[in-house]
Amino acid sequence: MTKIDLTQHPPFIYPDYRSSRTRGPKKPLLKLCDIIEGEPHIQLGEFQGSLSNKFHIPEGSNNLLINGSQSGAPLGERIVVSGQVLNQWGKPQSGILVEIWQANASGRYMHKTDKQDAPLDHNFSGVGRCVTDSDGRYRFYTIKPGAYPWKNHFNAWRPSHIHFSIIGESLADRLVTQMYFCGDPLIEHDPIFCATPAANRHRLISSFDLGITEADFALGYNFDIVLPGTKDMPNPKESEHPNEGS
């Protein structure tokens, strides 16, 4: 089982991100093998069978332009978001479940707790999912989300972003993250983005990609995802026996 280098991730409690003060754990984390009675030898990877790569995803689940439509197309700028899911050594990961959720073009979520003064789009659910192909690639069709105000601090605005949840080969490879858009002036003012160690913040920003862009239809953005997100990704060809504990 590979070790996750937590120094490459945001801290559990980041004071400028106010809700983390109450949500973040204040006690040391427990090893799963220490809390499963009768199975002290169990490893996280042994749960792989319960996760399984045989996800049942209905056709069109990755197309947010149509999967929430009630009476027509959603409003906003159409985009394509695509990339690869890789392990820590840069090897593509196939059969990985990738889920996204986001606000609509006005910056509002289709959720009962979002009561901000922005219009809902009843043709846009803001939720999609897909499974990576043999090359570890995923692809979503969606609307570029709008920025929105939040109550973290005075005049606080969240940049345009898309939430990602990735379920890898085991529980140890579960990752929840966010994708930002290149050139957004709000990024540098976002406490959630700034909570990430500076050396890794670039991993949260997608890049415009003309190769993903579909002519006369939608701009394309590339966003690669690394599991479990360790610091270094040596080329697998450079070493036939990588050190999994590094």
CB 33 within 8 A of CB 39: yes
CB 57 within 8 A of CB 46: no
Q: From the candidates 17, 138, 141, 148, which is the catalytic residue? A: 148
158 tagged catalytic: yes
Q: From the candidates 138, 141, 161, 180, which is the catalytic residue? A: 161
Q: From the candidates 9, 18, 137, 163, which is the catalytic residue? A: 163
Contacts 24+ apart (CB under 8 A), 146-149: 146/76, 146/103, 146/104, 146/105, 146/106, 146/107, 146/108, 146/118, 147/107, 147/184, 147/186, 148/103, 148/107, 148/108, 148/116, 148/118, 149/116
138 tagged catalytic: no
122 tagged catalytic: no
Cα(73)–Cα(122) distance, integer angstroms: 9
109 tagged catalytic: yes
Who contacts 187 (Cβ-Cβ below 8 Å, separation ≥6)? 159, 180, 193, 205
148 tagged catalytic: yes
Cα(169)–Cα(148) distance, integer angstroms: 34
Q: Which residue from 84, 130, 125 is spatially nearest to 104, judged by alpha carbons?
A: 125
Q: From the candidates 17, 109, 141, 180, which is the catalytic residue? A: 109
What is the CA 51 to chain-centroid distance, rounded?
A: 18
Q: From the candidates 17, 158, 180, 221, which is the catalytic residue? A: 158
Asked, as a colleague might, if the bond just before 25 is cis with ω within 30 of 0, I would say: no
What is the CA 103 to chain-centroid distance, rounded?
A: 14
Active site residue ranges: 109, 148, 158, 161, 163
